[in-house]
Amino acid sequence: MKKTKQLLVMLLLSASSLALAGCLKNQPESTLIDETVAAESLADSVYINGAVYTVNTAQPSAQAIAVQGNKIVFVGTTEHVNQYIGKNTQVVDLQGRTLMPGFHDVHIHPLESASASTQFTLDEQQSDPEYFIADIANASANFANTPWLIGYGHTINTILNTTRSPLDILDEAESNRPVIIMEQTSHSMWVNSKALQLAQLNDDSADPIGGVLGRDQLGHLNGVLYDNAGNLVMQQALAALGNSAQNEYLGLVEYTLPEFAKYGITSISDARSYWQRDQQKVWLRAEQEHKLTVRANLGLWAYPELSDEKQLKQLAALYQNDPTKLVKINQIKLYSDGILTNTTAAMHEPYQIDLLGLYGNKGLNYFSQERIAKYIKALEPIGFDFHMHGIGDRAISEALNAVEMASKGLARHRITHVEVVDPEDYKRFLTLNVTADAQVAGEFTNPEYWSENSELIGDERSDHLVPIKSLSDAGARLTLSSDWSVSHFNPFLGLHNALNRAPEAITLDQAIRAYTINGAYTMRQEQLVGSIEVGKLADFVVLDRDIRTTPISQIKQTKIDITVFDGEVIYQR
């Protein structure tokens, strides 16, 4: 990867490259300054005539910026940026388009979502799992020599609404080799009899902590493993393949990072880094080999089944927070609960349908309130911030309680998903300095789909799901993220839905801040990136329009024209 100045000089020498995104041009001599007088002040690149969305309250907007090396050295008017232009300065005429900070996606699964370890994908729109038999059989033939067959796709409702046992269907597709298929939310796995056998699971097996073994009405295993019960078997499957790290690395550098650049994402938080599988080493390798085009904070996965004494010691040993590095291992990802659709989200009041036979029918906990507090007390002083999965109202209350019990105010903890929130807890996010991280890029989070949860939790609790406006009104710091691959990481889908989901819609400025400076805060890098300010690193994007004048009904049509990361152009449309 070439440095920006080298790239831009080469572009100047090429007549065919005099237009960067259709607007690159040399400036007339009358606009140049005497380089012998102030050569050190000349910029490598200058962007003029734009609608610069700074996300800086002290200077909300500007027309132009100048970049020298990897830093922004000027933010202001087109007229005054001329002092930074020399004969080798690349000038980009924005022609009224928006230039803004690069996007932060602070809850995303880059390694899992693009790994070739997933050998096939089912159509999640298919409502009859009997039709999956041919697809699974074909995949088995295509990957005949792998010890496990690993797939992804389908929804839990599709599996549960079948008239035949899910176990029988999968056994018909493949009976000689273990098969495991992750449901599209990742909160359940569909397995065949061979997989159950290798995992040493049978009708007499007890549910693991944070998980449930799916059963039929007679108590026999039905091939569905909920939450951590499925995670444990997936770990076994990936370990058997033996090449998951290489698959994850190739998926990251060959697909994911170029796609992030295409969508203007310059910082991410890996929301579930499986350190027992050495996933952190995949990120460190990418940085060492100079492949990274994002700043990445890793959230080390807290395994519910491990002993606290062993796990806390190992997590502490993995902490890395070198400010000169792109990769930082400084977050802990733990689950308080599961999800609504399979009734594992932890609720204050019982579900209206008893799907899993859980005690009290109020969902489950991966980590109890007391155990979360124990981990915060042990790891916060080291420097870890906690990234806590909380979907049900009880899970969110318990996570907030744990912070209140154990935090010394040193950390920047956050609760992600925040789907069903007790209104009594809205203000506690502000009081406890806990960030509310929400995902609204998926259409299923829009108000027109809220009623689909009514049969599980009733109309009242189904109303105002993912209450981003209510939380913002209560003073909570809000971040928006994708949870890819549950939803696509295109930030303009998230922006669009955030602005168009009344009665829980927020303003454009609130949504942009949630994707930029607020995300930078949760990653402890708001002094470096997240806004367009002099002295900050040059992580920014150029859009194909002025987003402030675009009707909110058209926000999702926005495209990225240019992405700049650390002063280097990494994408141009």
Q: Where are the domains of the chain?
A: 4-102+562-572, 105-109+244-528, 118-241
Calpha distance 530→524 (Å, rounded)? 11
Give the predicted TM-score (pTM) of the model.
Answer: 0.90
For 539, the token pair is: 């992580």
For 317, the token pair is: 């040993």
494's enclosing H/E stretch is helix 491-499
Instruction: Kindly report the CATH class assigned to 105-109+244-528.
Output: alpha beta
Q: Which residue has the tokens 């007088």?
A: 37
Domain 118-241 fold: Diaminopimelate Epimerase; Chain A, domain 1 (3.10.310)
Angle between helices 228-241 and 244-251 (to 10 degrees): 100
- The pLDDT value recorded for residue 38 is 64
Calpha distance 6→512 (Å, rounded)? 32
Domain at 4-102+562-572, CATH from 2.30.40.10, 3.60.15.10, 3.40.50.1110, 2.60.40.3620: 2.30.40.10
Spatial CA neighbour of 369 closest among 343, 341, 346: 346
- The pLDDT value recorded for residue 13 is 32
Instruction: Decide if 203 contacts 220 (C-beta within 8 A).
Output: yes
- φ, ψ of residue 431 to 5 degrees: the values are -60, -40
Q: Tens-digit pLDDT profile for the chain (573 aa)?
A: 434 433 333 333 333 333 333 444 333 332 334 343 367 789 999 999 999 999 999 999 999 999 999 999 999 999 999 999 999 999 999 999 999 999 999 999 999 877 777 889 998 888 899 999 999 999 999 999 999 999 998 889 898 888 899 999 999 999 999 999 999 888 999 999 999 999 999 999 999 999 999 999 999 999 999 999 999 999 999 999 888 889 899 999 999 999 999 999 999 999 999 999 999 999 999 999 999 999 999 999 999 999 999 999 999 999 999 999 999 999 999 999 999 999 999 999 999 999 999 999 999 999 999 999 999 999 999 999 999 999 999 999 999 999 999 999 989 999 999 999 999 999 999 999 999 999 999 998 999 999 999 999 999 999 999 999 999 999 999 999 999 988 999 999 999 999 999 999 999 999 999 999 999 999 999 999 999 999 999 999 999 999 999 999 999 999 999 999 999 999 999
- The pLDDT value recorded for residue 221 is 97
In angstroms, what CA-CA distances link 385 with 21, 331, 335, 468?
A: 39, 5, 14, 22
Q: Give Cβ neighbours of residue 136 (< 8 Å, ≥ 6 apart).
A: 120, 122, 149, 151, 170, 173, 174, 179, 181
The sign of the CA dihedral 82, 86, 89, 93 is: positive
| Alpha-carbon torsion angle 156, 161, 167, 173, nearest 10 | -90
Calpha distance 222→216 (Å, rounded)? 6
- The pLDDT value recorded for residue 244 is 83
Q: Which residue has the tokens 């980590």?
A: 367
- The pLDDT value recorded for residue 485 is 86
The sign of the CA dihedral 371, 376, 379, 385 is: positive
* DSSP letter (8 states) at residue 555: G
- The pLDDT value recorded for residue 163 is 87
Spatial CA neighbour of 263 closest among 489, 534, 75, 112: 489
Please count the residues of the chain: 573
- φ, ψ of residue 411 to 5 degrees: the values are -110, 175
Instruction: Decide if 238 contacts 540 (C-beta within 8 A).
Output: no
